[in-house]
Amino acid sequence: MIDWEYEQERPYKGDVLTAKRRAYLLLYYSPEKAAKDQVDMNNYLTSLFSDLKEGSEREYCAKDYAKYFEVTQTPKRGRQVKPREDVIREEARNYGYFALLSNEVKDPCEALSLYRSKDIVEKAFGNLKERLNFRRMQVSSELSLNGKLFVEFVALIYLSYVKKKMQDAKLFEKWTMQGLLDELDTIELFEAPGYGRVLGEITAKQQALFEALSVKCPSL
pLDDT band at residue 174, thresholds of 50, 70 and 90?
A: very high
Q: Can you give the pLDDT at residue 133? A: 56
Does residue 74 carry a pLDDT above 90? Answer: no
> For residue 119, is it within any domain?
yes
The total domain count for the chain is 4
> For residue 98, is it within any domain?
no
Write down how long the chain is: 220
pLDDT band at residue 138, thresholds of 50, 70 and 90?
A: low
> For residue 204, is it within any domain?
yes
Query: Highest mean pLDDT range out of 30-34, 53-57, 135-139?
Result: 30-34
pLDDT band at residue 137, thresholds of 50, 70 and 90?
A: low
Q: Which residues form the domain of 219? A: 169-220
Encode the chain in three state secondary structure. CEEEEEEEEECCCCEEEEEEEEEEEEEEECHHHHHHHHHHHHHHHHHHHHHHHHCCCCHHHHHHHHHHEEEEEECCCEEEEEECHHHHHHHHCCCCEEEEEECCCCCHHHHHHHHHHHHHHHHHHHHHHHHCCCCCCCCCCHHHHHHHHHHHHHHHHHHHHHHHHHHHCCHHHCCCHHHHHHHHHCCCEEEECCCEEEECCCCHHHHHHHHHCCCCCCCC
Q: Average pLDDT of 18-34? A: 91
> For residue 117, is it within any domain?
yes
Does residue 99 carry a pLDDT above 90? Answer: yes
Q: Can you give the pLDDT at residue 28? A: 95
Residues 71 and 120 in one domain: no
